[in-house]
Structure 1
Amino acid sequence: METRLRSIVKAVIWNLIGLSVMAVVGLVVTGSLTAGGVMAVINSVIGFTTYVIYERVWSRIHWGRSHG
């Protein structure tokens, strides 16, 4: 079973990657660094929260795991 700390660290790293990508996409689409940054932050907060919940749910599902 994965610890909560591990799930959170994984989510933070993934979130930083997503934040960077979303900021660039927002900048390209809107032409504004501020608008791109706001879009990226909103996306990151939503993404972080849903990813942590998703990981915790899957950590309780035993299907597909090998033991031994």
Structure 2
Amino acid sequence: MDTKIRTVAKATTWQILGLVTMSALAFWQTGSIGGAVSLALSASLTSIGFYILHERAWGRIRWGRKART
């Protein structure tokens, strides 16, 4: 199991990679740096919010869990 700081570091670097990738794709399609960064940031924030909601919902579902021994 990872430490909390390692988990935060991994999540942060994953988000940065996503922002760079989304910005590059949006710039390629729009030709606008400002529009590309704006789109990437809004997509990232939306993604984080829905991920949290998704995880909280799955936290309430017992299906597929193994009992601790």
TM over 0.5: yes
The answer to whether the 8 Å contact 1:26/1:39 transfers is yes
**Partner in structure 1 of residue 27 of structure 2:** 27
User: Percent identity over the alignment?
Assistant: 34
Q: Size of the alignment, in residue pairs?
A: 61
**Partner in structure 1 of residue 39 of structure 2:** 39
Please, what TM-score do these two structures have when normalized by structure 2? 0.69
- Structure number with the bigger relative contact order (C-alpha 8 A, sep ≥ 6) is 1
Q: Which has the larger radius of gyration?
A: 2
Could you tell me which amino acid in structure 1 is paired with residue 30 of structure 2? T
Instruction: Tell me how large the CA RMSD over aligned residues is.
Output: 2.2
Could you tell me which amino acid in structure 2 is paired with residue 43 of structure 1? A
